[in-house]
Structure 1
């Protein structure tokens, strides 16, 4: 188990991404994935109130609703659920009143008394940071939220949030959620990880598998025929350098009897302050690799080799 920052949340070191629930995984498929994850030892689920408002016919909150129905049906013990605010069409931004209404709506969909980990999903510079920090602090004081976190914030804004929280005497963030993986490293390693180390924040990276590229599914530099947004997102990494990363992952994975995906997640877990990479599964068959990635321990030399070979920034990454 791994502790998230300074919180009391001890979790299995992998977070199951809920972005696919109500999108590419319907209710039954989502229940099956959640069952497989929990049966395999997983206990940390990540979602957002906006998932999946981008799907035609959806309005946002579909993922939270499915997770809430699963929690009610299965009644699992010790499951930690993280959700986020600022992007739901009905609750956009981080004004104090909006944050409160959005949290109450999320609580209703999830069917829980308190949100374990509540993220500011994206920074909202149209609202004074002090107002947002105060709103999150009140949610904790009122028992609606156990712990506060930030996602997609710059190092400067994270420092600002912590300084305001201390001045107001409210809860500090305990976690940061950045875009971070083997082929998307520079900004996080240069700016976010130092702040996380200074303030004992846990990193919970998203896009941990680079839209599927780090599963080894894309093994050619020819991106033609990749029509889906996910495939196009992965294809940009399929350069000669990117494929060398995949080759190295396969070689190291083979030595452990592990998949490329599991090996990539293991590298991410080995980075400073990282507590639990987020990875999604549309099907039950995809779950074992994710669980394996939470248990695989690479040697220091293997981690260093992967770090060395992936020192490159893809175009448009």
Structure 2
């Protein structure tokens, strides 16, 4: 499987990154181990998680995904075989305050390292901005972690264009660590959060880009046909706003192209992202081993210009 360089780091990712939000949420520990084993066997060796995953499940408090990944890596002796990304800045309490202060980052990093049962993180993301901590303070915290060998590279997710630009300027002007990767929400259903100013900043500063919610929380798999299909489901809060005229157009376009190539809608949606300018690799999750077939289909298929245009027009 051909890998791609993440920005200007020496980290390389397979064409699709596996999203670890499902571990401890829609997959229990045993199921998570089975999925991780399969991913390793197939070469999908970059895992993206966060300290707050998977707090959404009833009874969870956050950190469950990291704990499962850490336990699996130790049990399998697999730490050196995995490129591991995790994040800091969200609150362990649903709706709680964001925090990217130096004190919080240092403590949160130590907590993540313990859960992951490792002494270093390959790629550490600012998950959400608190819009108050000076960017220099946040970057100084990362400098300390890098100097200690606990973090190799840093990235940012969900920053505004202004705060991302300010952070990159501070890195250049004050000799602080630079965000090397940006992680926006990006899919056929959510294009505005990346296309435009953010994409231009990433290109100008040679940032790798890894998109999250690449399948729009499962909407783009074609599994859900109406709001009644998602009632009471774990992903209802993410999916409920997609059932409109635009969503229907996107699903119709996906279905037609998928039928033409005899592949899944998910594969087409992932390939669309992989073909888009500025993208290094999309992040996607799966809850069944058989769903990984879509990953391989996305990697193997070549969409035509006409296919891409149909998807672009349906999703505008």
* TM-score, normalisation: structure 2: 0.92
**Structure 1 counterpart of 2:298:** 293
Unaligned residue ranges in structure 1 (runs of 5+): 312-317
Residue 88 of structure 2 corresponds to residue 82 of structure 1: no
Q: 2:181 aligns with which of 169, 175, 180?
A: 175
**CA 1:294/1:92 → structure 2, altered by over 3 Å: closer, same or farther?**
same
**Structure 1 counterpart of 2:24:** 22
Offset of residue 224 of structure 1: 7.5
**Structure 1 counterpart of 2:190:** 184
**Structure 2 counterpart of 1:43:** 45
Residue by residue over 1:80-125, the C-alpha shift from the partner in whole angstroms, topping out at 9 and shown as x without a partner, is: 1100011243996111121111111111211222101100110012
Contact in 1 for aligned 2:224/2:230 (Cα 8 Å): no
Equivalent pairs counted in the alignment come to: 310
**Structure 1 counterpart of 2:162:** 156
**Structure 2 counterpart of 1:98:** 104
| Higher mean C-alpha displacement, 130-139 vs 55-64 | 55-64
**Runs in 1 of length 4+ with deviation above 6 angstroms?**
none
| Higher mean C-alpha displacement, 17-26 vs 136-145 | 136-145
Offset of residue 194 of structure 1: 1.0
**Structure 1 counterpart of 2:257:** 252
**Structure 1 counterpart of 2:73:** 71
- Determine helix, strand or coil for the equivalent of 1:135: helix
Residue by residue over 1:209-235, the C-alpha shift from the partner in whole angstroms, topping out at 9 and shown as x without a partner, is: 111110001234x54772335135324
Residue 225 of structure 2 corresponds to residue 219 of structure 1: yes
Q: Residues of 2 paired with 1:75 and 1:34: CA distance?
A: 13
Unaligned residue ranges in structure 2 (runs of 5+): none
- Determine helix, strand or coil for the equivalent of 2:281: coil
Offset of residue 128 of structure 1: 1.5
Offset of residue 195 of structure 1: 0.9
Point out which structure has higher relative CO (alpha carbons under 8 A, 6+ apart).
1
**Structure 1 counterpart of 2:171:** 165
Contact in 1 for aligned 2:154/2:179 (Cα 8 Å): yes
**Structure 1 counterpart of 2:273:** 268
Offset of residue 305 of structure 1: 2.1
| Higher mean C-alpha displacement, 256-265 vs 88-97 | 88-97
Q: Residues of 1 paired with 2:221 and 2:109: CA distance?
A: 34
- Determine helix, strand or coil for the equivalent of 1:212: helix
Q: 2:315 aligns with which of 302, 310, 315?
A: 310
Q: Residues of 2 paired with 1:205 and 1:5: CA distance?
A: 14
RMSD: 2.0
Contact in 2 for aligned 1:223/1:235 (Cα 8 Å): no
Contact in 1 for aligned 2:15/2:282 (Cα 8 Å): yes
Residue 233 of structure 2 corresponds to residue 228 of structure 1: yes
- Determine helix, strand or coil for the equivalent of 1:48: coil
